Chain A
Amino acid sequence: MTPAIKQILRSLVDDARSDEASRNAAVVRRLQTPDVLDTLDTAEEYLNAGRFRLRVAQVTEALARNPAPTAIEAFLALTTSDVFLAHDQRVLALIRSSVFIRPAPDALVSFWHARSQPEDAFTPTTINVLITNGSAPAISLFERKMADRSHDDDSKTGWLRSDVLVHRNDLLLLQACGRLLPDKLSEYLQRELVDVLFDYRPIEWYPPSASFSPPPLAIASREALDQLIKNAIVALTMVELSDQQRGVVRARMQEATELRER
């Protein structure tokens, strides 16, 4: 990194971290200037964005991590900027950074919704961010996406196995799953959701290159355990399950009950 680029990056990150409205606004202004963007990350660096994080992503993350309302405003301004959104890698950087904004404002939910359309290049990243963000608006959008038939079931199995599984102790997510289970999903997805909430079959679900692990049930909150038990009851009474699945659900419900009574 040349000293000039370092200087630009440092000033942008400092402004993004500031609680002064004018400095936050300056970040937005500069990140909508093609010259600044092209200086910050070269065309070659955009090509290698898969291996090396773009510098502009450090700026958007600094904005997203800044709790100042003006920083969030600045971040949201970028979500509607044609200049900033002109490159897919900057869109991805913005989506990834948005995981830190809790609770998600309506404008951010709109941005997420627009970047989670069938066959686009952003949906899996957006879904991951929704679940990791975990705020009520984010989980609500995830719930809508799960119920949205324009996204195919195979894609949704990916969301379940890689994103829901990792957060399957989260209360809001468990509540959303409880609402989805009875009648908002195809039968295939109902069973998939039950598997992801109550079972773990990595060799069947993942390629060897990328595996996901569920959190230990023992660290779940009492409320989450309660919700899991409710979901188990829904699964056992309202979802067509195999005997093996029923056994798995009962075993985990039993485990949750024992943990709850401790």
Chain B
Amino acid sequence: MAEKVRVTFKQVFVKDSADWFGSGEFYFDAKVDGQKVGDRQIFDARQGKWISLPADKWSQEVDVTGKTAVDVIFNGKDEDLFFDEDLGTIKYTLRPPWQQNTHTHHTEYFDLEWSVELQVHGAYGMHPPNEVFACRALPGNADCTTVSGVPIVARVEVHPVRPVPNRVPPRGLVAPLDAVENKAGVMAKPTDPPNIIPNPAVIPILTPPGVSPAVGCPPVADASNAARIEVTFYRPSSLQLDDKPHELEWSARSLSGGAAVNFLGPAKGTKIMVYGTATGEIALDVRFRGMLMATYRALVMKVKSIPCRVNILNGPSASSQPRSRPEDVVDHLTIANRYLRQAGIELVLDANSHTSDGAQPTTIPGIFRIHVPAGMTMGFNPDRANLPATRLNYRPNVMNFAYVHSDRDLDLGAASDYPNSKIPAAPGDRPTVTDSGTPSSSWIRPSGVLPDTPAVSVNMLLLGGKQRAGHPKLFSMFVSDTCGDPTVLASQQKYANTIAHELGHILNLGHRVEGPHPTIPGQLVAHGSFFDGLKHPPRQNLMHWIASETEAQDLDILQALAIHQSPLVP
């Protein structure tokens, strides 16, 4: 963008009229950057008085882009009968960093007051001192100056992981960062809208507002279902980008598959909303003063509904019955769906009323109660073969949840049955998903986020299937009372996080970061059998082996790609 300044000669104070009698007849000759400014108007110069110079004639705009100096020359003369008297010349050289200022310079006969204004967003004037005037690109950052001539390095990030991990790629900045950060996670509530978690891996395809969706088409885009994309870091704080939405401008470009999105509301500011109109992979670029500052990469696809049924397994006594009621289960699933929406999926209660194994319908379709022996819902061994609890009342290709009292190991829940992914793998090998996009999934390094080095292909290992004989279409897990009081929000979030995490396994996701082997140094739990092979983010991914719901919330592009290859996802 062109950088422009405006020099204005404002007024002249007459110290000495240079005439013996009465007032003088002053005129001025001025140049700015070699261009003549003003005209040959004669001003009545009275000693001790000001001469105002008309701004429309005594201003000059200069494009200073690339310039290293701008000369300002102002000469005064007193017109006389025989020869004009020279009142003196003021010479000044403006140099970068350009800065707004009002100057006063003197000759023997007059004082000159003149100003330099810098153009910001097409407007001249005296701007707030921290206003940015000009920027030049640095790798990943912008080398800017304010209208006061103060140099700053500006940076904007849109991190795909929420909560944002502390370990981020190199920023090329020196301390102090003086940054504004928006890095917290989301503790979702059942009443929160489906899109409450920002910066999802999947931007959902929705029907544009004003268009009536046909049967089977996605719902109309609105503030509750469009993807929220948020700037997670900017510096310096003096940019005040949260209060100046016009400073950040977003645009979209397809990376593959003809992906297309629309912005819901203005495509400006630190927080925007966007929805998809065509599948593929999209880049959302955010610019500051026309300079590309950050790119957010996402998949664009329809939100797929996974049918599920829930069986609450009641033992014979109060001490062997889970506390969750059908309405609590609905709350847990609702919160779980907030996590899952990041990957473009949602759980929907099964509308089919067929039952087996003595299941009794409840008032909420898709949720059942079953009376079972104590050992099937309390204190059971989750590692036994053919776990009975999770098979009860299942329907093929419908996710089957067993709400139980507890298992022996006091697990919060566990996936028990999950067929292979549709991604093929050689015998003995685990399937893998590869992503080569920039920025990398979860900003795994090298991230391609400047000044970090370019991203490379990242491979993620999937879990092979785990199935019992005779039930090839059984997808199941149990959720236990160990999650806590099912009616209390904090515990509901634990139920939901457990459901979403274990469902991740059922959709063939491994652990993002795996625990250490209990006795062999350097080895992983189960010799890494459930590890997805990646160690980033350190704790913020939903599939972290042990982190709780306050941290483990994110699903990334690699995981979204894998999830949509599960036979459970339509």
Contacts and interface: CB of A to CB of B under 8 A. Distances in A.
B526 A202 contact: yes
Contacts of B415: 207-209
Given A47-B485, A50-B406, A119 B386 contact: no
Interface in B453-471: 463-464, 466
B383 A51 contact: no
B530 A121 contact: no
Contacts of B483: 51
B526 A203 contact: yes
A178 B386 CA distance: 26
A213 B382 CA distance: 15
A213 B384 contact: no
Interface stretch (A11-19, A24-32, A56-64, A85-93): A85-93
Contacts of B47: none
Interface string A118-133: 1111111101100000
B414 A123 contact: no
Interface string A202-217: 1111111111110110
Given A48-B484, A51-B484, A125-B379, A154 B505 contact: no
A89 to B, nearest CB: 7
Given A50-B482, A118-B375, A203-B464, A208 B382 contact: no
Given A47-B323, A118-B375, A122-B379, A213 B519 contact: yes
B485 to A, nearest CB: 7
Contact of A50 (B317, B380, B410, B502): B410
Interface string A89-128: 1001000000000000000000000000011111111011
B216 interface: no
Interface residues of B, number: 54
Interface in A144-170: 153-155, 157-159, 161-162
Interface stretch (B125-133, B139-147, B176-184, B510-518): B510-518
Interface in B305-332: 315, 317, 319-320, 323
B411 A210 contact: yes
Given A208-B415, A210-B414, A213-B526, A119 B384 contact: no
Contacts of B405: 121
Contact of A158 (B383, B466, B505, B517): B383
Contact of B319 (A51, A89, A205, A206): A89
A184 to B, nearest CB: 19
Contact of B463 (A48, A208, A213): A208
B413 A209 contact: yes
B481 interface: yes
User: Counting chain A CB atoms within 10 Å of each CB, which of B518, B520, B529 scores highest?
Assistant: B529
B383 A206 contact: yes
B525 A213 contact: yes
Contact of A207 (B320, B382, B525, B527): B382
Contacts of B7: none
A162 B383 contact: yes
Interface string A199-239: 01011111111111101100000000000000000000000
Nearest to B319: A88
Interface residues of A, number: 42
B381 A207 contact: no
Nearest to A153: B385
A161 B382 CA distance: 10
Nearest to B390: A207
A152 B173 CA distance: 64
A124 B380 contact: yes
Contact of A213 (B323, B464, B517): B517
A125 B406 CA distance: 12
A118 B379 CA distance: 12
B465 to A, nearest CB: 10
Interface in B368-385: 373-385
Given A119-B374, A120-B374, A154-B385, A50 B485 contact: no
B320 A202 contact: no
A30 B323 CA distance: 30
A125 B378 contact: no
Interface string B467-507: 00000000000001111110000000000000000100100
Nearest to B416: A207
B383 to A, nearest CB: 4
B484 A203 contact: no
Interface in B385-422: 385-386, 388, 405-416
Contact of A92 (B375, B379, B386, B409): B379
A204 B428 CA distance: 12
B516 to A, nearest CB: 10
B378 A121 contact: yes
A200 B319 CA distance: 36
Contact of B529 (A88, A153, A202, A215): A202
A132 to B, nearest CB: 13
B381 A121 contact: no
B383 A161 contact: yes
B181 to A, nearest CB: 33
A97 to B, nearest CB: 15
Contacts of B530: 202-203, 208, 211
Contacts of B379: 92, 120-125
B519 A215 contact: yes
Which residue, of A118, A121, A127, A216, has the highest number of chain B Cβ atoms within 10 A?
A121
B381 A124 contact: yes
A123 B375 contact: yes
Contact of B408 (A89, A125, A154, A157): A125
A161 B410 CA distance: 17
A132 B480 CA distance: 25
B385 A88 contact: no
The 4 closest A-B pairs by CB, nearest first: A158-B384, A202-B526, A50-B482, A158-B381
23 contacts: A51-B410, A87-B319, A88-B374, A88-B378, A89-B319, A92-B379, A120-B374, A121-B377, A121-B405, A125-B379, A155-B384, A158-B385, A159-B384, A161-B383, A200-B527, A203-B463, A203-B529, A205-B383, A208-B463, A208-B511, A209-B505, A210-B382, A211-B529
Interface of B: 315, 317, 319-320, 323, 373-386, 388, 405-416, 463-464, 466, 480-485, 502, 505, 510-511, 517-520, 525-527, 529-530
Given A121-B379, A155-B381, A210-B409, 8 more contacts: A51-B483, A118-B375, A123-B375, A124-B408, A157-B383, A209-B415, A211-B525, A213-B518
